């Protein structure tokens, strides 16, 4: 559930970011004038350099929720602390997690035991994919692996203009997460294919000093599948990385663990089952909650229900993780609402 990894700027944080953005834009424009560069510097340029889309920056400045890693990338680019921008995060129900055996254990085993592993996590919209990713990243940290999470929801339309623009954004975004300098324009070579340029950049600038396994989570990849001009080539790129890791013993590519998260809802441009990623790696499908798992989540919310009440809940909304979470969150926040009232209201709606 996306909300578990989302943050929102405070009014003070919005003013702080807006001021620093304005100052950086003026500073860059002045520098360009001094260098006799007539190209204007815009907020969109700033967003790209920060490794996010302009839409993400706009949402942050409107006080709308954005992904934590995107807000952190903006803060670091502006030399600010994330804690000075966003609402403090208090522990609560979104931090709960219920495993769906054997899904999680099989995913962990694949990632922690297979060099160069590639896994695909797929499920319909709002089935808890991002919720699972956050839990996975906790396990990654406990095993002292490094991790980078990149959501393609943070890329605005301009990023998908063509393959080169898209892959440069991809390189910058991953580099920002690893707190490495942006050398994309210096390293990109005319005459070398875009996929080859991207692979070379990862190999020489991002992976060069990688001596521990790194889990690269690509979330909302179905948004890439919708883009005719980048989808197939991007899948070929990821397939080539997987192949490199398998055949190159001692290569830094064997430290890569690639996690591709996508929806199984209909998307236009590419069917992944007939793409270069077909039959590659291990595919895991997220299922709905069973009755016992709904019961466990109810206990985590510290709601004291009888077995027949749990059965009523499952009969009403099924085992959809998002709907179950939303319902329990509402009932926890509104103790004055009885379960019977909630059921009656749900039936009317």
How many other C-beta atoms can be found within 10 angstroms of the C-beta atom of residue 27?
11
72-106 pLDDT, tens digit per residue, is 999 999 999 998 898 765 444 446 789 999 999 99
Please give the model's pTM, rounded to 2 decimal places: 0.74
Element housing 234 (H / E): helix 231-247
Q: Which CATH architecture has domain 99-285?
A: 3-Layer(aba) Sandwich (3.40)
Least confident among 290-294, 296-300, 338-342 = 338-342
128: nearest Cα among 94, 91, 102, 164: 94
pLDDT of residue 131: 84
Here the tokens at position 68 are 């934590």
Q: What is the pLDDT of residue 95?
A: 64
CA-closest candidate to residue 169, choices 105, 83, 73: 73
Q: How far apart are CA 66 and CA 198, in angstroms?
A: 27
What's the pLDDT band for 224 if we cut at 50, 70, 90?
A: very high
In the chain, CATH 3.40.50.300 sits at 99-285
Q: What band does 2 get if pLDDT is binned at 50, 70 and 90?
A: very low
At residue 347 the predicted structure's pLDDT band, cuts being 50, 70 and 90, is low
Instruction: Give CA–CA dist 75/81, Å, rounded.
Output: 6
Assess whether pLDDT exceeds 50 at residue 190.
Answer: yes
241-251 pLDDT, tens digit per residue, is 999 988 866 67
SS3 156: coil
Mean pLDDT of the chain: 87
Check residue 38 and give its pLDDT: 86
Is the pLDDT higher at 318 or at 234?
A: 234
Q: Where are the alpha helices (DSSP H) in 66-159?
A: 68-77, 103-113, 129-142
The confidence band for 292, taking pLDDT boundaries of 50, 70 and 90, is very high
Name the nearest CA neighbour of 303 among 324, 280, 278. 324
Give me the long-range contacts of 42-50 (CB less than 8 A, separation at least 24).
44/158, 46/21, 46/77, 47/74, 47/156, 48/169, 48/172, 49/77, 49/172, 49/182, 50/74, 50/76, 50/77, 50/78, 50/176
* pLDDT, average across residues 256-267: 83
């Amino acid at each position: 559930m996306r909300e578990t990894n989302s943050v929102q700027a405070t009014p003070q944080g919005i003013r702080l970011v807006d001021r620093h953005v304005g100052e950086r834009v003026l500073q860059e424009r002045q520098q360009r004038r001094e260098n006799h560069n007539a190209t204007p510097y815009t907020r969109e340029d700033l967003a790209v350099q920060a490794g996010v889309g302009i839409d993400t920056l706009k949402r942050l400045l409107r006080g709308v929720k954005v992904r934590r890693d995107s807000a952190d990338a903006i803060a670091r680019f502006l030399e600010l602390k994330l804690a000075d921008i966003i609402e403090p995060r208090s522990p609560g129900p979104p931090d709960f997690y219920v495993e769906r055996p054997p899904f999680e254990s099989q995913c962990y085993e694949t990632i922690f035991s297979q060099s160069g592993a590639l896994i695909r996590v797929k499920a319909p919209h709002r089935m808890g994919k991002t919720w699972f990713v956050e839990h996975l990243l906790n396990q990654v940290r406990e095993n002292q692996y490094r991790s980078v999470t990149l959501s393609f929801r943070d890329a605005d339309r301009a990023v998908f203009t063509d393959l080169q623009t898209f892959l440069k954004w991809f390189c910058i975004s991953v580099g920002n997460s690893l707190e490495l300098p942006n050398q994309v324009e210096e390293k990109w070579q005319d005459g070398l294919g875009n996929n080859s340029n991207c692979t070379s950049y990862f190999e020489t600038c991002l992976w060069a000093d990688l001596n521990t396994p790194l889990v690269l989570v690509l979330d909302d990849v179905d948004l890439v599948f919708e883009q005719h001009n980048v989808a197939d080539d991007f899948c070929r790129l990821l397939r080539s990385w997987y192949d490199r890791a398998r055949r190159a013993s001692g290569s830094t590519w064997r430290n890569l663990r690639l996690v591709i998260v996508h929806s199984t809802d209909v998307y236009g441009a590419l069917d992944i089952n007939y793409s270069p990623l077909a039959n590659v790696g291990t595919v895991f499908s997220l299922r709905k909650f069973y009755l016992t798992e709904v019961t466990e989540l109810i206990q985590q919310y510290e709601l004291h229900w009888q077995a027949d009440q749990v059965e009523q809940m499952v009969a009403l909304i099924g085992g959809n993780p998002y709907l179950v979470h939303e319902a329990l969150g509402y009932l926890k926040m509104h103790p004055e609402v009885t379960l019977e009232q909630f059921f009656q209201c749900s039936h009317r709606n």
